[in-house]
Amino acid sequence: MAVIHDAWHSKTGAAQCREHKKPPSKAHGYGLRWQVRWRDANGVQQKRSYAKKGDAEDKKKAVESALIRGQLTDPKVTFKEYAEKWRASQPHRPTTVEVVGNSFEKHAYPAFGSRRLISITQSDIQSWAVSLPVAPSTARRILSNVGPVFSAAVRDGIIGRSPCQGIRLPQPPHREIVPTSASQVRALAASLPARLALLPVLLAGTGVRPGECFGLRVADVDSVTRTVTVRQQRQGGVDAPLKTARSHRVIPVPKSLLDAVAAHVEVFPSKDGYVFSDAKGQPLDEHRFRHVWHRAVKAAGLPKGTRIHDLRHTYASALIAAGATPVTVARRLGDSVITTMRVYAHCWPTDDDQTRLAVDAFLSAPQVP
């Protein structure tokens, strides 16, 4: 085998090209080849062979350019190896760590975890994504968890383009929000243990997310300003940052709800000042509360599959029915206006009659010659 003659200097990290003095004979089944050798960012020697010297020269230039930019890494790295390093460097919240981990361990790694990262194509991802044995919405979430790994590989110079770009998935079925009624909220409260009876009332009365509700402290409830301040959430047994910057908010609440909170904490105090706690005074989180919730849903006669999160929809629907604007609803929920409209647009009253009158006035206007 022969390589291009060009001295290699280990101190500079330049690519090596050297001509073999005795090229292999064609009788052995191959002719003259040109080889480029270099060491990647991890110090591991790499090499590529080419039939044409010009192709080898082009590779040499590309390698040297990548080495200068510090973008060259081991092309033999597998998806799982790279993904694990990526996961360890991410500032994920506890629940995000769990969700991303499940996406990788249950779906991505069995499919292509052992494959070299550079060998995975868009067709591979497309076939994998559409064959996932989950609902369309879940498939989208799994793809959204895997995509950032390939995007990071692009930034690191391992691959030129993310194979997750342009992937098409089935659209999830349209699901309109059906808010829980006031009578159902009361039925849930009656079906829960006494120390948790306030929970559905507080969720429906503030619109906070379940994690935000469990992270709520007594000090966050102000009877003077009649507000509840959302500062943190409780996830995975620890206090965690809120979902987004918008999640930090102050929610106005009625006196009746404040009185209910005051009565609750007087009877069920928490060691650490949380509004909700278990029988030992320890704080709760959604995971520990889930089995209690399912029993309460069944006992209250609510539809199977009713979620804790559905009480957030109850709050939003109540604001909309009272005439609140999309901006107001978004602020109270800690969401963007775009997200609020996407989820709740059908809840706002329609202007059908106004539309009919406007079109009729236009069509019946006198014709100007």
- Domain with residue 107: its CATH number is 1.10.150
Q: Encoding tokens for residue 311?
A: 């009480």
> One digit per residue, pLDDT tens: the chain, 369 residues?
223 444 333 333 344 444 444 444 444 444 567 788 876 655 667 788 877 888 888 778 777 766 555 455 556 789 999 999 999 999 887 778 889 999 999 999 999 999 999 889 999 999 999 999 999 989 999 999 999 999 999 888 788 789 999 999 988 777 777 889 999 999 999 999 999 999 999 999 999 999 999 999 999 999 999 999 999 999 878 888 898 999 999 999 999 999 999 999 999 998 889 999 988 888 888 888 889 999 999 999 999 889 999 999 999 999 999 999 999 999 999 999 999 998 898 888 877 877 888 888 878 877 666
Q: Are residues 63 and 85 in the same domain?
A: no
Q: Which amino acid is at 208?
A: V
Question: Residue 68: phi, psi to the nearest 5?
Answer: -65, -40
Range of the domain at 132: 79-155
3-state SS assignment for residue 157: coil
Last residue of a domain, one of 39, 72, 105: 72
CA distance 274 to 212: 11
Q: Are residues 284 and 191 in the same domain?
A: yes
Quick check: is 170 in a domain?
no
Angle between helices 182-191 and 198-206 (to 10 degrees): 150
How many structural domains are present in the chain? 3
* Other C-beta atoms lying within 10 Å of the C-beta of residue 275: 24
Last residue of a domain, one of 31, 46, 72: 72
Q: Which of 276, 262, 109, 147 lies closest to 208 in space, CA to CA?
A: 276
In the chain, which ranges are continuous DSSP H helix?
53-69, 79-88, 94-103, 109-112, 122-130, 136-155, 182-191, 198-206, 210-214, 255-267, 286-300, 310-321, 326-333, 337-344, 352-363
Give the rounded distance of the alpha carbon of 84 from its chain centre: 17
Angle between helices 326-333 and 337-344 (to 10 degrees): 100
Q: Are residues 58 and 16 in the same domain?
A: yes
Q: Encoding tokens for residue 348?
A: 């706002």
Angle between helices 94-103 and 136-155 (to 10 degrees): 100
Q: Are residues 144 and 263 in the same domain?
A: no
Q: Are residues 325 and 205 in the same domain?
A: yes
Q: Are residues 139 and 288 in the same domain?
A: no
Question: Residue 136: phi, psi to the nearest 5?
Answer: -55, -40
